[in-house]
Structure formats: structure tokens, C-alpha cells
């Protein structure tokens, strides 16, 4: 079984309001990227296309996924632990992907 990685949620001025209800909402963003040692054929294809389309100096492109989760209420330690567990078990494949969690400033 792979070791579980805990990511500290970073947030400052990250609270917003949801519609007219006035309920505090935090937007949790999970960025998932292939680990550096994993080949990224889609990134390579994009790199080639960028060069063909006239962008010089492209040395590497890595593709990934971004998940945005709107959560009502506080994000305490227990909820942050749950988010970390779900990111590792559901959103990312820890064998080939790394992930980063953060709380984004409300819109």
C-alpha cells in the first residue's frame, strides 16, 4: 500500500458568500499532475503543436487536471484531513500523480 501524503490546505482571505443565502463558502482547488518521472504523451503533443504554431523556446509541457469544490461552512482540521484522503483516493492516482490542495479566494 502506498504511503498517504498529507497536504496542508493554504488559505487566506479565501471565504466568499454563496448567492443570497449568505452562507460562507470556500472554494477548494485540487490540482493533479503526473509525477515528473512519468511520461506525458499529451504534454509532448501539445509541446510540438505550440512549436509548430510559432511559439519558440518551449522546452517542456505537462498536462494535468483541476478540480474545484465549493464547500459550505468552515474547513477545520478534520475536514482538511477528509479532503486530503479523498484527493488521494478519488481525484488522483498516487502511483503516477501528485496533487496539491488549496483554498482559493472567493469570487
Per residue in 61-100, pLDDT tens?
999 999 999 999 888 899 999 999 999 999 999 999 999 9
Among 77, 80, 64, which Cα is nearest to 28's? 80
Among 6, 3, 4, 12, which Cα is nearest to 75's? 12
- Cα–Cα distances (Å) from 18 to 13, 24, 52, 69, 105, in that order, read 15, 6, 44, 13, 13
- pTM as predicted: 0.74
Residue 51 lies in a domain: no
Residue 27 lies in a domain: yes
Residue 2 lies in a domain: no
Looking at residue 106, what is its pLDDT? 55
Which band of pLDDT confidence, cut at 50, 70 and 90, is reported for residue 4? Answer: very low
Q: How many domains does the chain have?
A: 1
Three-state DSSP class for 21?
coil
Q: Enter the DSSP assignment of 104.
A: E
| Overall average pLDDT of the 10-22 stretch | 47
- Domain span at residue 97 reads 15-38+66-104
CATH of the domain at 83: 3.30.1280.10
Residue 1 lies in a domain: no
Residue 50 lies in a domain: no
Amino acid at each position: 500500500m502506498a504511503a498517504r501524503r498529507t497536504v496542508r490546505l493554504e488559505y487566506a482571505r479565501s471565504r466568499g458568500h454563496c448567492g443570497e443565502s449568505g452562507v460562507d463558502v470556500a472554494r477548494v482547488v485540487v490540482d493533479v499532475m503526473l509525477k515528473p518521472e512519468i511520461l506525458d504523451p499529451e504534454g509532448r503533443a501539445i509541446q510540438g503543436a505550440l512549436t509548430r504554431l510559432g511559439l519558440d523556446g518551449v522546452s517542456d509541457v505537462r498536462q494535468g487536471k483541476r478540480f474545484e469544490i465549493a464547500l459550505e461552512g468552515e474547513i477545520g482540521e478534520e475536514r482538511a484531513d477528509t479532503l486530503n484522503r479523498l484527493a488521494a483516493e478519488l481525484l488522483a492516482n498516487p502511483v503516477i500523480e501528485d496533487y496539491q490542495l488549496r483554498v482559493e479566494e472567493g469570487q
